[in-house]
Each structure stands twice: as structure tokens, then as C-alpha cells.
């Protein structure tokens, strides 16, 4: 019987892997707002429920990928702000001297 459980577990993993392969890739050229809006829809779908386990996993993976796109945009924006704030200002320096 232990062998049957092991085979069932392997079949479940293969089925899950097959379901995961059906997740459409996230377009890396998505803008922040586009990725954020799609991520909001994914979260709403997950919160609403009514999806199968495979559909929920696919939505979760899509959400993770969209969150990474958003994080890259936010990290880039933070780097730009940090660089701008690190530059000496001619206006402020002349007044204080």
C-alpha cells in the first residue's frame, strides 16, 4: 500500500507541474501600473474563491511574477530618487555658504 501512496503522490506532483506550465508568462515590458492592476485582479480572483486548486496555483504564480515586475519598477524608482538626492544642489549650496 505504501507503494500506491508514493505513486499517487508522484502523479499529483506531475499533474501540478503540468498545471503550472499552463501559466502564461508575464511580459517583462509591462509598465508598473499595468502589472499592479493585473496583480490586483489576481488577488481579487484568489480572494473570491470558487477556483480549482490548479487554477488557484496558476493565479498565485502569476501574482508572484507580477509582484516581481512591480518590485523591479519600485527598486528602479528608488535608485533614481536616491541618485537625485545624492547629487549636490548648486542652489542650496550657494545660499548656505
Which of these, 15, 23, 62, lies nearest to 39 by C-alpha position? Answer: 62
pLDDT tens-digit readout, 29-74 = 899 999 999 999 999 999 999 999 999 999 999 999 999 999 999 9
* DSSP class of 22: T
Domain ranges of the chain: 30-88
Model pTM greater than 0.75?
no
What is the number of other CB atoms lying within 10 angstroms of the CB of residue 58?
19
State CA 11 to chain mean position distance.
Answer: 28
Residue 77, exposed/middle/buried by CB under 10 A (0-12, 13-18, 19+)?
A: exposed
Amino acid at each position: 500500500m505504501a507503494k500506491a501512496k508514493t505513486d499517487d503522490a508522484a502523479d499529483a506532483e506531475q499533474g501540478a507541474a503540468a498545471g503550472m506550465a499552463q501559466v502564461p508568462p508575464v511580459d517583462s515590458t509591462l509598465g508598473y501600473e499595468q502589472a499592479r492592476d493585473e496583480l490586483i485582479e489576481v488577488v481579487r480572483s484568489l480572494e473570491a474563491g470558487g477556483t480549482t486548486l490548479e487554477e488557484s496555483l496558476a493565479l498565485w504564480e502569476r501574482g508572484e511574477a507580477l509582484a516581481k515586475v512591480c518590485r523591479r519598477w519600485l527598486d528602479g524608482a528608488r535608485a533614481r530618487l536616491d541618485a537625485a538626492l545624492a547629487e549636490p544642489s548648486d542652489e542650496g549650496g550657494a545660499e548656505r555658504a
